[in-house]
Structure 1
């Protein structure tokens, strides 16, 4: 009996270890998640970084809504069929896999990042997943397919219960840092307004 406490101590960290599979399962249990985002783009030829902020929504079975509020309004909707982007109230631009396959692939990948979709990630990246303890994790993705390997040197994700940060490092030395906060899991279904945005053409 004296050995039981030691065995429990040794096995406890193993039982609580986070893997990419457990992370994907965790995200799968979040059918609709809304969060605030802060984005900073550092471009080597510009003296100051470009900053923007707003609200985002990822719905597991529907797609991604990205509502930039500052420095100017920009709305983005992405689902399996198309991407619709409207900037500053201008007529929306529609991108599909037929009219712009590379852009659509990049934006479709963004949805896979938010959902930690292992199948999609393994098809496009070399994966380095690390359990950082205290339920925290990091995920470094190194592109292995074109055009991703021509654009990004790496993509870094990190978080705990939720995805909290995305860092896009491109081949030209520019960086995009996205920080997510104020995560909300309710309501667990889309509002009427959100459904209408996904249905818009």
Structure 2
């Protein structure tokens, strides 16, 4: 097992099927807050559903095409980051996140996604990290901006939503851009 510190009280570590009870408790605390922004298949409503979501990502990790990590603050799972997809052959992946309201405003997601991007682009050698978000999700768009991503465009009416179809914004960062950004950073990694 590994844990990566995010701040004095928070860490990023693997989120596995055996964490299903903690994951479900986290979803219960954040369900209303994240439901408009994440896939309905992610927001499990019972223990079997939570275990299924985590197993789906464990299977993706085993196939080398995705993964999921939790953010724990003071020992409580408060959110996480994920690789929705990872294609080593094409050098492209899609990252995502979720966080319960009580943990917002501390930069946890930004730091966690930075660690994930470092791993994907520097250690794994992929070329592109995508960030797809509902065009109305201002917090997610702010994370993309803080990470130095560029807005590639908008997929109009890309998905059905509760009040009609929604637009998706696609943001990305390329390996050369990330390396340049990291080289100019004074912050230790």
Normalised TM-score (structure 2): 0.30
Bigger helix share: 2
